[in-house]
Structure 1
Amino acid sequence: MPITSAGILMYRLHATGLQVLLAHPGGPFWRRRDEGAWMLPKGELLPGEEAETAARREFEEELGAPAPGPVHPLGRLRQRGGKWVEAFAMEGDFDPVALRSNTFELEWPPHSGRRASFPEIDRVAWFAPAQARAKILASQAQWLDRLEEGLARGW
């Protein structure tokens, strides 16, 4: 059975227009990547867990703040590696300075025998839709369209 994750695409209606909050993955593999590397804060569902519950849990674990408030389903997408991700839109106003991500350990450098700790998310930022499309993983870009469609329908 394919791995399933869930995440939240936070948005705000700023004085300059719509903005979305994207997260940049931490760790050495992503350090030098920017365009096409950002994503929704997301993570795997626990056994028997509902997607919305997992999305809220992962938001809090990866950003260090709860995800209160109503959500709007954005549907599921299959990422390049085969993982399914279910996303939800939520209006909010997270301060990127408040980022407190959980960490993971990895042998680094490879084959060195040394373990290093890295944040799952090393930074978050607000982007206008056009800039977000350049920053987000290609496999997640469709959620930006779905968000704009939902807002146009009057969520």
Structure 2
Amino acid sequence: MPKQSAGILLYRMTDNQPQVFLVHPGGPFFRNKDEGAWSIPKGEYVDGEEALAAALREFEEETGQAISGKFIELQPIKQKSGKVVQAWAVEGDIDHDTIKSNLFEIEWPPRSGKKVSFPEIDRASWFTIDIAKQKIIPAQAGLIQELEGLIS
């Protein structure tokens, strides 16, 4: 069974132009990666767990902020790893400068025996649709395209 994630594609209208909220993964592997590295806030969930509830939990864990509104279910996408991502679009606004992400721990540097904690998300930002399509993990670009069709 492939792994499954659930996430939220938050958007807002600024001067009649849509913007989407994306997050950048924390930790040493993504430190110098930008284009094609950003993501919607999302996380894994287990069978039997309601996907939208998991998406809301993950959004709050990764940003430190809860989100509510009218959720629009998007078509699931499959990432290169085989992971299936179920996402919902919702209109809203949060301050990207005040996110507070949960931490994860890894051995760093590799084979050093030292455990180091990193934020799951090291930064977040609002992007126009065109820029977001360049910044996001390529497989997730379909979520932005679908949103664009729904709100235009």
Shorter-chain TM-score range: over 0.9
**Which residue matches 1:70?**
70
Q: Amino acid of the residue matched to residue 139 of structure 2?
A: S
Q: TM-score, normalised by structure 2?
A: 0.97
* Structure 2 contact 4–46 (Cα < 8 Å) conserved: no
Q: How far off is 1:47 after superposition?
A: 3.8
Matched with 1:14 is 14
Residue identity in the other structure for 2:150: G
Give the 3-state SS of the residue equivalent to 1:85 in structure 2. Answer: strand
For the Cα contact (< 8 Å) 2:6–2:44, is it kept in 1? yes
Q: Deviations over 1:67-112 (max 9, x none)?
A: 1112101120110001000010011111011100000000000000
Match of 1:122 in 2: 122
Please give the root-mean-square deviation of Cα atoms over the aligned residues, in Å. 0.9
Taking structure 1 as the reference length, the TM-score comes to: 0.95
- How do 1:2-151 residues align onto structure 2 when only pairs under 5 Å count? 2-15=2-15, 17-151=17-151
- State the 4+ residue runs in structure 1 displaced beyond 4 angstroms: none
Identity %: 52
Give the AA of the match of 1:148.
E
Offset at residue 46 of structure 1 (A) = 3.1
**For residues 70 and 53 of structure 1, what CA distance do their matches in structure 2 show?**
14
Q: Aligned with 2:105: secondary structure? A: strand
Q: Distance in 1 between matches of 2:49 and 2:102?
A: 20
Aligned residues: 152
* Offset, 1:23: 0.4
